[in-house]
Amino acid sequence: MIILGIESSCDDSGLALYDTHIKNLRSHVICSQNLVHKKYGGVVPELAARTHIQTIIPLLKKLLKNSNLELNKIDIIAYTKGPGLSGSLLVGASIACSIALSINKPVIGIHHLEGHLLSPFLSNNSLTFPFIALLVSGGHTQLIKVNSMGNYFLLGETLDDAAGETFDKIAKMLDLGYPGGPKISLISEFGDPNIYKFPRPMLYTNDFNFSFSGLKTSVLNVIKNIKLDLLKQEKANIARGFLDAIIDVLTSKCIAALKNTGFNKLVVVGGVGANKQLRKKLNILKKKYNYTVFYPKKEFCTDNGAMIAFAGAMRIENNSNLELNYEFNIKPQWKINQIKI
């Protein structure tokens, strides 16, 4: 069976073909809108939707060409149904349903976060349920107990900004560009870890929630108190102080979740999961706390069509309902614990 995955929940158009016979991807393509949103320092929803309209069909043509496949050889179309930006979701859903109608094949609406949660299976044959997932992206920061396919229990989440959003906002304050995560990661390598000690919010609260707005304000106050046209070294010191603080919080909460549940497998997904320093610290701590940690390939940390095609394949394997009426209804506010198999 060949499953076409279409991801368009935010600012990346991603398409992929997953083949259930070979249990692998045939091909995948992605078009990031970073250049479109760069000058605004964040995603502009209206521009994101318009850009998806321009990119998805050419990407589909490229995908089919890369895998030497005709459109009617696709068996099922999986698309991101939510959560995400309404306009962006609508574009992906309407294209998915139109293609499906034209070739008389069913569609399946996928929860974007389920796509992220399952993404490490694409490259880790030894990964099995259950596990604890740290989902850290531009829009979400959650700790989830993943019991089995479709059975997810939300342990905790951010009470305000998401981790990726915090990276982006601080990069904007430091005038480093968008998206901020990779820029902060890079510049922080030249920073002195002993100059700025920023707060570690909610580190000792006995729960699995996060809060990053105080950390962001604290960084802002430092930037305000020194000159706006910061020297590169000063920017690097601030970035390093911020990175150390956010990584401390993320890793401590992961370890608390593993201890509390008795699980010994950790999965880290979402854009921030590509962060080199976060991976390094989690890898260092695994001996001490006796856990194994799995990540998706770096290219599948940020939004992509491969994870949506794969989640579609997993849902079909688990007899999830397919839709043949093409009356798509997007779910911009869909919560992870509202998912059913």
Shortest Cβ distance from residue 169 to ligand KG4 (Å)? 9
Shortest Cβ distance from residue 306 to ligand KG4 (Å)? 13
Does residue 14 bind ligand KG4 (CB under 6 A)? no
Would you tell me how many other CB atoms lie within 10 Å of the CB of residue 23? 12
Residue 138 among known ligand-binding residues: yes
Residue 164 CA to residue 140 CA, distance in Å, equals 8
Q: What is the DSSP letter of 322?
A: P
SS3 173: helix
- The contact mask relative to ligand KG4 for 262-281 (x = CB under 6 A, - = no) is --------xxx-xx------
Report how many residues bind Zn ion under the rule CB under 5 A: 2
Does residue 303 bind Zn ion (CB under 5 A)? yes
Q: What is the DSSP string of 180-208?
A: HHHHHHHHHTTS-TTT-----TTTTSSSS
Given 82, 83, 109, 182, the residue binding ligand KG4 (CB under 6 A): 182
Are the beta carbons of 25 and 100 closer than 8 angstroms?
Answer: no
Shortest Cβ distance from residue 278 to ligand KG4 (Å)? 7
Could you give phi then psi for residue 83, rounded to 5 degrees? -75, 170
- Written as one letter, the residue type at 288 is K
Does residue 141 bind Zn ion (CB under 5 A)? no
| 101-160 positions binding ligand KG4, by CB under 6 A | 137-139
Shortest Cβ distance from residue 91 to ligand KG4 (Å)? 16
Residue 133 CA to residue 322 CA, distance in Å, equals 27
Residues forming the annotated binding site for substrate?
135-139, 168, 181, 275
Catalog residues that contact ligand KG4 under the rule CB under 6 A: 10, 137-139, 164-165, 167-168, 179-182, 185, 270-272, 274-275, 302-303
